[in-house]
Amino acid sequence: MTDLPESTPTPARPGPVIRALTAVATLMLIGGVFLVVASLDHRNALRSRQIDVPTSGRPMLGSGNEPHTVVIYSDFRCPACATFHAEQLPALQAGAQGKANVVFVNRVLFGEPSVRAAVAAECAYRAGGVPAYQSAAEQLYAEARTHTRDATAWLEPAALRALVGVGDMNDFSACQADPAVSAQIRAESDRIARQGGATTPGVLVGGRTVSPPTADRILSALNRL
């Protein structure tokens, strides 16, 4: 006699109330994910702002033919700017090759001594081009790291001439004394400040600020253009 196979009981289907609650919970979960994403996008939008900065005639790394531009605005007496210059700029420069020109402009924060430091870098640039500007920036940032912001003796014109060490001291001295140079730097800085560029260092990619300004974030923003 053959035994009949035991029948497998059919699982009970969830009732309509359970199904409705499950659907509501799923919708709430999906809605919560969208809210989180929207909130993050909104926070990023608040952090990022559009700033228009003319870059013609400014010190630049790159061939001038790259399709995009990264703008860095900074103060030579700003410790965070010195750190950015030493730790982030090399990786940014390497990653931006063939993609973007890297342009330097001034955003002075700490009064007249900051203007004098910016004038020294500008006069080095006018005397010897980008290599002289880069050398001056290295010296200015290195010196700034060894002094408090209140120590300004090294920012006197004669001390800056010795520090930067460009070839033609007469031309450099004349540039330092030219009120049009400091006026240009103040105007450049004021333009950025009026558009919300309140802190340094600041970095613009596609005209928008990148925060925090790390090489990875800057290159990521550049790749999205």
Of 9-13, 18-22, 190-194, which has the strongest mean pLDDT?
Answer: 190-194
Which residue reads 């730790």 in tokens? 87
pLDDT at 14 over 80: no
- The string of pLDDT tens digits covering residues 185-202 is 999 999 999 999 999 999
Mean pLDDT computed over every residue of the chain: 83
What torsion do the CA atoms of 136, 55, 86, 171 make, to the nearest 10 degrees? 0
| pLDDT at residue number 163 | 81
| pLDDT at residue number 165 | 73
DSSP helix/strand/coil, 203: strand
pLDDT tier for residue 34 given thresholds of 50, 70 and 90: very low
How far out from the chain centre does Cα 102 lie? 11
| pLDDT at residue number 166 | 67
Q: Residues 6 or more apart from 206 whose CB is under 8 A from it?
A: 68, 221, 225
| pLDDT at residue number 144 | 82
pLDDT tier for residue 2 given thresholds of 50, 70 and 90: very low
pLDDT at 3 over 80: no
Q: Give mean pLDDT, residues 149-159.
A: 77
| pLDDT at residue number 190 | 97
Q: What is the DSSP letter of 165?
A: -
| pLDDT at residue number 159 | 83
| pLDDT at residue number 162 | 81
